[in-house]
Structure 1
């Protein structure tokens, strides 16, 4: 990769590694539904004008059903599950569990991508890594198990959304698609968030975290990611999936004083190894890249 691609790679890794820390800060004073609705509304306010300036919005015509479906499984569902899940587990564990996404995509694509011994080994390693993280980090804590379950369900929805984009929405320009899904998500979430507005004073830190989630972790991160794909190609851009959990862990440990256990490191290494093996192409081909805001 050239210098610009490396800069974009580092930028996306950070922008998709910090949401879990910011969510932890925001939900101290704001309800999860307000955090999610505010985040996507801010992103939509940025992404819709960008798509309009690029002239890509007309491409959404005739694709309302696909945009609504994707908005639900790509943004509304995962964002809510992750934000509510973080009420019960650490931000670092959240980031690590989401790293299992490539393994789940491989499982969903098993009919299209034949299983080889290497891919089977990768799937097994990834699932063992999840078992290590959940079994050793939240063992005996039913609320922790609930939170981890929410994160894993969110990750499954992310994987389903990636497959859906490939099969049903690959002809829609990315900026238009993201602008459409964030707008649809805002429309779906804001009515519910209106009934959960804070009644007590909200700290400046919580508002700042919410603003950063929308502007940086959603809108800016997606735009930077698409630029990265253009500079380095989808295969290399997809490697950011392995980098942002490291950022999430380092921030959680350094800023929130979250524990860094040997099981955490072991589980992450198993997941990364599993993702790498399970996504190895069976024939020379471009690697499908998960595209989502963390």
Structure 2
């Protein structure tokens, strides 16, 4: 990968690793989940819409693809961003970030459910088992009450993040990223505008909270989508989605450094299991080579599907 590719990869690891910290700062202000999601989506939409319009054909694209775009917006943004934000009123940002790391594992399972005929093999099945064990380490202590609801909300977020790319891959593969992202963010902002208005804070939030909201909208939403698109162009979709494995480490480190969140043995074990499970469960089959020539041998069986980039908004 080129120096530019490594820069974009490092940038994405950070900008989609810190939303959990920023959300935690906002909800402890306290701001309502509706207010946080509205602000994030509105800022992102305002920044990206001019570029989407400049590409031309935005209205035509929306008319032609409005059904899958609506489904994508609801499953990727409208639902998950609210459940994640609401959950962080009671969960640490570290725990939320670690649970979200299970997205690739759930994605593999859902792909199989929706007709992916690729054989999983021992390695990927082992990855699924390890990842689920990591999620269990985090969730089991809370099943008797306390934060059980928050855990369930994060797990719903995981399912949404894992499902939406399947919709994009099957129905939106020809839609430019900006023309997909900007209308979806605008729709989400409109959905949460009434809730934000009803829970508008009585006094101006502190400078720290305003900075967190601005960073969520500008860096973790608008800049993140643009950078991810460029990373896909530079390094390809397979390498680009490896950022999913970097983000939890950033989330845990940020929570420990800036919010004094504890780094327990359970968190360390869960992080190791989820990370190892995600890598194993999403790994492709190793390419075989001809012993005589050293050239790659095409895999047998059904032709592989074209690679497509998948966007997971943190």
Structure 2 length-normalised TM: 0.89
Question: How far, CA to CA, are the matches of 2:191 and 2:261 in structure 1?
Answer: 34
Corresponding residue of 2:222: 219
- What do the CA deviations read for 1:211-258 (whole angstroms, capped 9, x no partner)? 110011000011001101111111111110000111111010011000
Q: Which protein has the larger Cα radius of gyration, Structure 1 or Structure 2?
A: 2
Native 8 Å contact 1:235 1:286 kept in 2: no
Question: How far, CA to CA, are the matches of 2:57 and 2:14 in structure 1?
Answer: 28
Q: 1:91 to 1:203 in 2, by over 3 A?
A: same
Runs ≥4 in structure 1, deviation > 4 angstroms? 282-289
Corresponding residue of 1:32: 33
- What do the CA deviations read for 1:111-131 (whole angstroms, capped 9, x no partner)? 313332222111111101100
Corresponding residue of 1:121: 126
Structure-to-structure mapping, 1:54-133, within 5 angstroms: 54-55=55-56, 57=58, 58-110=60-112, 111-112=115-116, 113-133=118-138
Q: 1:288 to 1:54 in 2, by over 3 A?
A: closer
Question: How far, CA to CA, are the matches of 1:246 and 1:80 in structure 2?
Answer: 23
Count of residues in correspondence between the two structures: 292
Corresponding residue of 1:6: 6
Q: 1:230 aligns with which of 233, 236, 257?
A: 233
Structure-to-structure mapping, 1:95-244, within 5 angstroms: 95-110=97-112, 111-112=115-116, 113-136=118-141, 138=142, 142-244=145-247
User: Which consecutive unaligned segments of at least 5 residues does structure 1 have?
Assistant: none
Displacement after TM superposition at 1:68 (Å):
1.5
Does residue 291 (structure 1) correspond to residue 311 (structure 2)? The answer is yes
